[in-house]
Amino acid sequence: MRRLEVLPISLSLEGLNSYAEKVEIDFRRFHKNKLFGIFGDTGAGKSTILDAIILAIYGEIPRLGSRHRQEAINPLKQTARLTFSFSVRDGSREKEYLIERTIGKHSTCRLYELEDGVKKPKAEKEVEFQKAIKHIIGLSSHEFCKVVVLPQNQFAKMLELSPAERADILGNLFGVNVYGEPLWEVVTDIANKTQQDRSRIEGRLEELKNISEEAVLKKEQEMREAEETLKTKVAQKKRLEEELQRIVRFAQLQKDRENIERTLSRLQQMAPQIEEMKQKVRADEEFSECKSLYYERKTLQASIAKRLKELEDAQSAYKTVEQELQEVLARKEDFQSSYLAKQEELIRRETEARHAMEIKNSLAKIEHESKKIHDEISQNEEQLKQTEKEIQGFVKEIADLNDRKANIEKKLAEVRLTEEERGKHDLLLKNQPKLNELKTLEAEVQRLVRKQDEEKKDRDLLCRKIVDFVFTNLGLKVQSPSETGKVLDAKKKELEEEVARKRQEQKELELKDLAVALSSRLLPGQPCPVCGSREHPKPASGEVGEVLEKTKQEIKELEQRLSVLEDSRNRLNPLLNRLIEVEARLQRAEEDIKEKTNLLKMLKEEMSRVFSDEVILHAERILSALDQRRKQAENLMSELNERNNELEQKRDLLNKQEQKKAQIVATLQHLKAQYEKIRNDISAIRDEINLKTNGQDPEGLIKVVATERKRLEKTREALEKAVKDKENETKAKAQELERMRTVLGETQKRCGQIEDTLRQKAKEKDVSIEEMERFFLDDAVKQQMKMEFENFQVEWNKSLGALSQVKKRIEELGVEEISPDEPSRTEEQLKIVENQVRELQRAIGRLEDSLRRDRESLEQKSAMLEELKRLEKALGNITTLQGLIRGKDMVEFVSAYYMRNIVHDANEIIEAVAERRLRLNYSKDGDLSVKDLFYNTERPVATLSGGETFLVSFALALALSNYIQHSKGKAIHFFFVDEGFSSLDQDLLDSLSTVIDKLRSQDKLVGLISHLQEMKQMIPQHIFVYRDATGTSKIRYGTSERF
């Protein structure tokens, strides 16, 4: 069988229980040693790691289920995020899978296969996710918790299950439940189906009893005769079809001839109209040479009238342009007379402005230099102020640093540890694990005492319930619940004796009542029918009957009290059983308290030899205070060194700033003297500029002159351009007039030529030029007329040819005429023959189908006879198999086989740990019991102590896990055990190391969770879980000194 090996790689959890922040666990660091521990204080979050693994894989937490899993989300978070990766090895091939799951308002789950770090999605919905996980891991959540992860308080589950429940789990784990009811149902279905098949075949054989070889031969002869008749009728049908075809063809040709003759008649009626169209076309063609000239003449006449109007308008425009030219020439002459004088005045004004501009430019350079010096003075004064301010700041900072240094030195002297305090700190630090263990044991003892008190309260409450119940329902008083049974038995005995006594009284009273009845019937002197005496005693009193009824009522009441007593005894039994269980738990709790107290006492004695009781009591606080002072001293010393360095830096900076101040003062004195000299020179230059420009800006004067010169030039250029434009316009107008006169003359000449030509043609036809237009046809109309008489000619020729063809075909048919009842008569004869042919074909088809069915039936009959023999043999085998698998015998047999092997492997583990103190037995009825080899007694698993329960269930879980891996094709290469070790005594803990060493030798990763310090020495590597100051769970890795 191929084996798949499953091994965890990493786990990441965030927002689950106490893990508010993200924590990552790398299981690969434990793969080498194959064994690791998860340690930490109670409540630190150790079990949450297992919850995270189960939740990531199956979407549920065992103690919460899938519906309440949101209760595990950290209060500070709205969503829990889990990531779990694991590998699956199949021989030499290995695959890695990654699970990503979120729990919250919108929960998600995703499964990926990792290939070279790339995630390939495998499932993204819960249903397909669980199917994929089931296929990969091979276990359901329930099975996983039983054999791979044993969560807290779940060790004894396999022991506590009933035989039926345990067999059901084994059946699911090993897949043997299919041998029970599922197999019975399958076999029963097969039996029913086989019986149905036999009945069906027998029924079918009954239907086929008349099918024989002789009947098949008779039908074959009938079919041959029908086929001969069919051939004759088919030949007759063919002859009739050919005759009908000639008759129908002749009739159609006659119709075609009539249609063609009608068409020829219609065309002869259209012939005059066609001839008229031809004449119109011929007239148009005769005048075709004049048509274009006629229309050109009309166009030219319209053009001549238009051009005469345009010529008149052009002459008027030419006169207007000549007048405008004379006006522009007059303005140009007036401007030329004043142009030279204005130019000389502008040159003079520009020369003076440029001289003043040169003086101003030299002044600007001097002013720029003055401003530059002034800016340097301002900058140096600002630097001087800033430097003086920085010097004052450094002086103040140095004073502050000296004060702070003094304060630090004072505080350092106060918090520095003395030699004695350092020794105490080292000693406390060295013994801190034992002091923590002492504190843990004290808390554990207190917890056990509180639990014992709660159990005592439960016991007292049960006692009160029992006593109150006995008093309320039975009116009996008992001193303690232990007396209840004896009191009830005594009361029952008393009531039973009272009933017996009353019954005896009833018998006596019944005799007396009979005597009363008899005495009431005796007459004096009459013989007694009983004794024969004639002397009768005084008649008995009639009150006997009342006493008898009263006695019967008392007996009934006593019986009712007995019934109430028995019913109360049955109702008390659960309370008494619970009381026994509570007493047993109290006894176990007392043993645990005694064990923990002794261990606590030993540890206290050991610590008392090192520390005083006061130090032991407040060890954590003292160590914390000393750590705090040591850290404070280190921090103060570091701070003091920083202040000294800072003070030295500040003094160096102060010296540099004072040197900088002296340099700035000397620079300022030199710059101020230079600035004063430059300001005097600027004043003298400004007086000279004002004298030359009369107080105006030289640049402005130059711009004004330049503007006036440009304006003067623009006026001259504008006048010259206006003269030139008007001269060009006058010339263009003259040229346009000449062109228009030329074009008009040519147009009038062409129009005269055309009129001469048209007049000559009109004279030939004896019409005027205007009358020629009625002979002209539109090209589209002319074309349409041509098409009409061409189509007429084509249709006429075509009809003559078709008539000739039809006459020829009629001659070829050889039929001169047909009778009036044709082709109906021939069609009727053909229909009769066709019906006869179809009937014969159907008959032959029916015969063929019947023959085919008969042949198939013969073959089926032979095959069914063989199948009937096979089914009868199979029914015998199925009946035998049903006898073997009836009920759950097969399932119980196979489950018992697996369980005996598992118990055998578990006993090997128990023997290695407990040194032949215990042995687990498995009975034929499926019950588990324990053989106490020390006392040679066998007892139920319910009587095991806490340590024994853990040991047996731990061994059973290991054996079950190993057996599953060998029986299934998927080896789950990891195993987790949560707590349970605290219930083991020291001898069992020592022996347990043997099992742990054995686990290390297996190719399986095993994680053990505990808060016991002894376990750390047995395990090579561990994860330590703790909570920080905010209550958030954290982890760190550790290694045992032994390894």
199-244 residue pLDDT tens: 888 887 787 777 777 777 787 788 888 888 888 888 888 888 887 7
Higher-scoring residue by pLDDT: 853, 689: 853
pLDDT reading at 540 higher than 50: no
Residues 6+ apart with CB under 8 A from 432: 619, 623
pLDDT reading at 279 higher than 50: yes
pLDDT reading at 986 higher than 90: no
Neighbours of 656 (CB within 10 A): 14
Average pLDDT over residues 67-86: 86
pLDDT of residue 152: 42
pLDDT of residue 81: 93
pLDDT of residue 109: 92
The token duo for 35 is 């064994």
Average pLDDT over residues 367-388: 83
Name which of 931, 949, 947, 1017 is nearest 986 in CA terms.
947
Q: Would strands 4-14 and 970-972 be described as parallel, antiparallel, or unpaired?
A: parallel
pLDDT of residue 526: 58
Q: Looking at the domain 139-180+887-967, which fold is it?
A: Rossmann fold (3.40.50)
Average pLDDT over residues 46-62: 87
Q: Would strands 23-26 and 4-14 be described as parallel, antiparallel, or unpaired?
A: antiparallel
Q: Which CATH superfamily is domain 1-138+986-1043 in?
A: P-loop containing nucleotide triphosphate hydrolases (3.40.50.300)
702-721 residue pLDDT tens: 777 788 878 877 887 888 88
pLDDT reading at 782 higher than 50: yes
Sign of the CA dihedral with 409 first, then 414, 415, and 416 last:
positive
Q: Would strands 108-115 and 118-123 be described as parallel, antiparallel, or unpaired?
A: antiparallel
Across the chain, mean pLDDT equals 78
| Terminal Cα distance for the chain, rounded | 37
The token duo for 11 is 């786990």
**Cα(371)–Cα(405) distance, rounded to whole angstroms?**
50
Neighbours of 888 (CB within 10 A): 17
pLDDT of residue 1: 43
**Cα(103)–Cα(78) distance, rounded to whole angstroms?**
9
Average pLDDT over residues 386-407: 86
Phi first, then psi: give them for residue 106, nearest 5 degrees: -120, 90
Q: At what angle do helices 288-415 and 213-286 cross, to 10 degrees?
A: 120
Residue 13: pLDDT band by 50, 70, 90 thresholds?
Answer: very high
What is the value of pTM for the model shown?
0.38
pLDDT of residue 695: 67
- Least confident range from 148-162, 230-244, 892-906: namely 148-162
Residue 34: pLDDT band by 50, 70, 90 thresholds?
Answer: confident
Helix, strand, or coil (residue 38): strand
**Cα(1022)–Cα(1041) distance, rounded to whole angstroms?**
12
- Least confident range from 167-181, 578-592, 644-658, 908-922: namely 167-181
* Buried residues in 541-575 as b, exposed as e (16+ CB within 10 A): eeebeeebeebeeebeebeebbeebeebbeebeeb
pLDDT reading at 154 higher than 60: no
CA-CA distances (angstroms) from residue 83 to 22, 68, 168, 210, 467?
A: 11, 20, 33, 76, 57
Neighbours of 86 (CB within 10 A): 24
pLDDT of residue 990: 60
